[in-house]
Each structure stands twice: as C-alpha cells, then as structure tokens.
Amino acid sequence: MKFQKAAVIGTGMMGPGIAVTFALGGLSARLISRTAEKADAGIESARGLIAYLEQHGLIDSSAAASAREKIAPTSDMSEAAAWADIVVESAPENMEFKQGLFAELDSAARPETVLASNTSGLSITAIGSRCRHPERVLTTHFWNPPHLMPLVEVVKSEKTRDDYAVGVRDLLARCGKLAVIVKKDTPGQLGNRMQVAMIREAINIVAEGIADPADVDLAAKAGFGLRLPVYGIFEHQDLIGLEMGHSIVDYVSKGLYNEPRAPQLMQELIDRGDLGVKTGRGFYDWSKRDPEAVKELRDRWLREFLKTPFAREQRAKG
C-alpha cells in the first residue's frame, strides 16, 4: 500500500498539525477548508508549526523547507479527495455532519483511497455507515497537539480491512508517529478509555475530601505519570509480580468510583457556571493562574521528551 498524497479537512486546532505530519513524512499534502481564505489561513498555521519544530531543534532546516513545499491549500474537497491516497477529516464532532461528509468523500475518492476520521470518541462504524466502501474507512485519532504528541490511534470499524489498518499504521510510523491499532470500535477508543477512568477517580478523590485538586495533579505528575513515558502499565505489573498486583487491585478496587456516569461534583461545578478557563473558574481559580503558561510548560515537556534517546529510538522503530 503506497501513500504519496494526503488530503486533510479542517483548518482549526488539529488540521494544520496533521497536514504537517504528512508533509514531514514525505507526502504531498492539501489542507482543505470551505473557503480559499480559510484554507490559506490554515496553511499559515501549518507553516508556523513547521517553524516552531525547526526553532526548537525537532526538525532540521532541510526537513522544514521540504515540508513547507509539500503543503498547499484548497477549497475544492471533491477534487482533493479524488487526488489523495488518504483523506483525514478533522471536522466538528457531530455524527450527522460526519456521516454526510464521509458519504460525499466515498463518492469522490478512488475506491482504494483510505478515508479516515480524527474523531476522539464517535463510532467510526457509524460515521462510515453511508459509505459504499466501508472497508477503507477508519479512525486516525491524533492526540493534541498533533505536531508534538507521538500517539495516533488507528481504530478499525466493524468493516475495516486489516490491511488498510496496518498500512495506515506503517504510514504514520514513516511520518514519525507511534501508532497503535485499536481492534474494536468502542467508546473512548484506547487512550481515552484509560484517561477517563483516571479522571473519574481523580474527581471522586476530591469529592470524598481525600485530597485537593492541586495535590491530585501533583501526585499524578510526580508519581506514576513521571515514569509512564518509559515504563508501561503491564510492564509494571509483570515486574512487581502478578500476585502482588492482583492483591493491590483487588483491595483498592473496593473504594473506587464505579458508577457508570461522570461524578456528581463535575455536574455541580457546571451547574454553578464554573466551566474552567473559559469562565475563570473550574477545579482551579484561573484568575490566579495563566492557562497559556500551563500549556507552554506542557509543550516544553513534550519538546524535551521528543529529544530523548528513548523517544528517538521508538520513532525510529516505527
């Protein structure tokens, strides 16, 4: 399966970073928006991301120059879909909209072209349900920010052919990403299932008065979160011994939040109008904190991690 041309729909938060990923992997990439003006703005965002990666030593000048040349804007989605070997949409998370979009792409694209969604939670089986060729439809969930985060989840629908999923995983490896194949189309895919379980219990800890949000965050950052980049969940269980791991999980599970819904504390904050940064208060009082500084610290950490021998080795392995 050869991929030489990629089309990316969406010029908001994710699209430019996804287009940059493909360009750095050697593909010609077209960034699609409804208007030429928005497509041009998306290209400017993509070029800014390329400059950012070069500035921080994550790509060299020749890779940056090549990537800039490989990205072009367009407002003609049908023409771009017919041209591309893979189309990735990064549109709003609306099922009806995505179903209509994929039906349109299915008609415009060549039968062998992969049609992928960047959805972080919607069913890819449902998204591709109106397609005549659902076997080539799958999810490529790039984690945010896509120009820095290595992980991409390749999620199979109930009808996705195995060779398409494997081919896309190999393509993403060529583009410097670490891709995993999610074999079942399930809510939360893979990473978000684990993340949501952690979020629910973290909120429950605060609700039960066990610790404050800042201390919960610090425990995650300075404890298990610090070793997770190089020391996985199952590696830890095997290294401590499954009999000990079983005993700990069995004991602790009795006190965990196990309701099939978000914790009540979260709803109470929403009902009060405390929605987080957008309203100035959520779990934290954001009038006393700078959200941009928090994101910059996140991105600085990601930049430094990507420069480590471990990260470079993993990307080289694909």
Catalytic residue set: 153
Kindly state the tokens that stand for 302: 């990601």
The label of the residue with tokens 């490989």 reads: 70
Give ∠ CA 212-217-219 in degrees, rounded to 5: 95
The label of the residue with tokens 């021998």 reads: 309
Across the beta sheet with 178-182, the strand order is: 71-74, 28-32, 5-9, 86-89, 114-117, 137-142, 151-156, 178-182
Alpha carbon separation from 147 to 5, 43, 157, 274 (Å, rounded): 19, 14, 26, 31
Partner residues linked to 141 by β-bridges: 153
End-to-end CA gap in the chain: 16
Picking from 118, 158, 152, 115, the residue whose alpha carbon sits closest to that of residue 137 is: 115
